[in-house]
Amino acid sequence: MPRPFEILLGRRDLFAVNVAFLPDPDAGCAATRELSASWGSLEIWVHGHNLCAHIEQGEPVDSVHWYLLPFLQWLASNWDFLLHEERLPTKNAGATAWTAMRRTNEAPAALSEDEAEHWETRWHQWWERHCLIACREGGLLPNLYIRRWRDAIEFSWGIHSLAGAPDHFRFDAFAGCGRIAPDVVADVLFGVLDRASHYLLDEMPDSPAFAQLIQDVAALETSDQRRRLGLISGIFLDEHTPTQRWDRIQQMFPANLSREATKTLFAPSSTRLVVQGSCPAALMFGSVSPTINEADVRLLAEKLAQAFTPDGESKSLRRLARDEPVGRTDDAAWEQGYRLAEDLLEELGDGYVEDSSMDIDRLYQDLGIEVQEVVLSDCSIRAVAIAGRDYQPTVLLNTSYLYRNNEPRRFTLAHELCHVLHDRSYGAHLAMASGPWAPRDIEKRANAFAAMFLMPSALLESVVRSRSDPIDTTVGVWQVAKQMQTSFIATLEHLHNLGFVDEVTRDALRNQLDQRAASPSNSVIGNQTTHPSRPRNPAALGLSDLPVDR
């Protein structure tokens, strides 16, 4: 009978894992020798939440109990994926992996049979690499996803029904998310793997499975960094292995890069176990749409290389820039975006107010942020932001996006300003494409920032008071939007968020706009023209990831 042995590593208020090996209650009758020797308990703590705590027959229990060998093998075999792969398999449908995977577990009905099969295959393969219950083999484990998220490791979890779970069993933790520094997570998990594997082999020296586990764990310290960077980049998913992906990305950059530029672009900070800070190239391609082609990749690579300018930021921009961890919920991200914009507006004063609107272009000039236009094949990418101490801060506007009027361009510039100022991983650098694959909560925060910056509360109140038509009418909202040079939907949503328009009125006005947009010919409202060819039912700003061109 194996001797009891416990491993507790990390801090429960941040990240900790507690593993204890205990005598098998079935005395080996229901499992192989190796499985029986690995019977024990497991606790996983994230930001003070014990994700394994549960109620069993009315009694609280802190740990789950089961054979731990499959858990250890799963950690070792999926190590690089868990700590370096961010991109979701099918669609970026939620702010966390748990939310997105729950919303995409079935292929859309409109897909063909082959497309649906491909969707489901990719979903399941990603689930096997990232979801803890993929290794349960009959045990009762929390529905926990582990993945890379920018320069952090994301843990996200939620309530679920497990096949075979008794009615009297339920986990305590409701839906939640925690993001923790990669080196902290890697050190804890590796320590657990290393100590547990050696304990098991000591208990059963003739076990090939335990000997193999020790070899697999040791190999984690010598994994190819190019493989890990390829996973972070999330590009060329089907065509290449992770290592080949990274080699292919490097080939896209100009061949005459200086040694300093090469080091900055391609050499992130890392330990033997994990890439800690993503280099700019990996960051950029980690957030672009999977539909970009090789010409797009080459163009973005050239722009990123061109932006490399040691100490390229202006002092005024450096004074305003600060890394801000994004809120963990949609509401928190939205409120945080408003607050960050208000902080900036207070810092700037009234110097950028011109004719009842914010002069975003002049602010860009004063901060030394360059604006360029590019043409990308994917029209869902609005822009790309590049920033950092070693870069000329640059915003690349994708002219394939529907910039039919000046308003969406202004909104995009304000949105990208939030990225430049506040979305640098640990304050170091930013290379991020705003589009459907960018982190949703970061995009929500930037949308909120843009709305508040372009429509400051005091300025908006002044404009509302000066209007000639009631604010609860379509024409009244158009008057405000025209004066502030913002789109109708962005203005309406902001008016609602600040209490100028109630929810019922907002919904009624949006329905009126949709009905007019759906008419056979364009309708002129408040001296502005709606376009039937544009999206008919744009999601409300604050519930959507993209600004609305109306």
Provide the 8-state DSSP code for 524.
E
Q: Rounded distance, CA 226 to CA 245, Å?
A: 9
> What angle in degrees, to the nearest 10, is found between the helix axes of 182-203 and 69-77?
130
Tens-digit pLDDT profile for the chain (550 aa)?
556 899 999 999 999 999 999 999 988 888 899 999 999 999 999 999 999 999 888 889 999 999 999 999 999 999 999 999 999 999 899 989 999 999 999 999 999 999 999 999 999 999 999 999 999 988 899 999 999 998 899 999 998 777 777 877 888 888 899 999 999 999 999 999 999 999 999 999 999 999 999 999 999 999 999 999 999 998 877 767 999 999 999 999 998 899 899 988 888 888 999 998 878 888 888 888 888 888 999 999 999 999 999 888 899 999 999 888 886 666 688 899 999 999 999 999 989 998 889 999 999 999 999 999 999 998 889 999 999 888 999 999 999 987 777 899 999 999 999 999 998 865 567 888 898 888 888 999 999 999 999 999 999 999 999 888 899 899 999 999 999 999 999 999 999 999 999 999 999 998 888 777 666 654 433 333 333 332 323 333 333 333 343 3
Q: Is the dihedral of CA 285, 289, 293, 296 positive or negative?
A: negative
Has residue 306 been placed in a domain? yes
How does DSSP assign 329-350, residue by residue? SHHHHHHHHHHHHHHHHHHHTT
Specify the residue for token string 């919904």: 507
Q: Which domain holds residue 175?
A: 5-222
From 222, 249, 283, the end of a domain falls on: 222
Q: Are residues 310 and 283 in the same domain?
A: yes
pLDDT recorded at residue 278: 79
pLDDT recorded at residue 394: 95
Q: Are residues 474 and 382 in the same domain?
A: no
Q: Is 208 exposed, middle or buried (0-12, 13-18, 19+ CB in 10 A)?
A: exposed
Has residue 312 been placed in a domain? yes
Q: What total of structural domains would you count in the chain?
A: 3
Q: Are residues 137 and 213 in the same domain?
A: yes
Q: Are residues 348 and 487 in the same domain?
A: no
Enter the pTM of the model.
0.88
Q: Rounded distance, CA 141 to CA 406, Å?
A: 52
Question: What token pair was written down for 477?
Answer: 């909202």
How does DSSP assign 93-154, residue by residue? -SSSHHHHHHHTSS--TTS-HHHHHHHHHHHHHHHHHHBGGGG-TT----EEEEEEETTEEE
Q: Are residues 178 and 150 in the same domain?
A: yes
> What angle in degrees, to the nearest 10, is found between the helix axes of 474-484 and 503-517?
90
From 197, 222, 247, the end of a domain falls on: 222
Q: In 406-456, which residue ranges form alpha helices assigned H by DSSP?
A: 406-422, 440-454
Strand partners, 541: 544
From 452, 479, 500, the end of a domain falls on: 452
Q: Rounded distance, CA 261 to CA 281, Å?
A: 11
Other residues' Cβ atoms within 10 Å of the Cβ of residue 1: 11
Q: Are residues 391 and 466 in the same domain?
A: no
pLDDT recorded at residue 289: 84
Q: Are residues 106 and 240 in the same domain?
A: no
Q: Are residues 200 and 271 in the same domain?
A: no
Has residue 68 been placed in a domain? yes
How does DSSP assign 251-304, residue by residue? HHS-TT--HHHHHHHH---B-SS-B-S--HHHHHHHSS-TT--HHHHHHHHHHH
pLDDT recorded at residue 528: 38
Q: Are residues 338 and 445 in the same domain?
A: yes
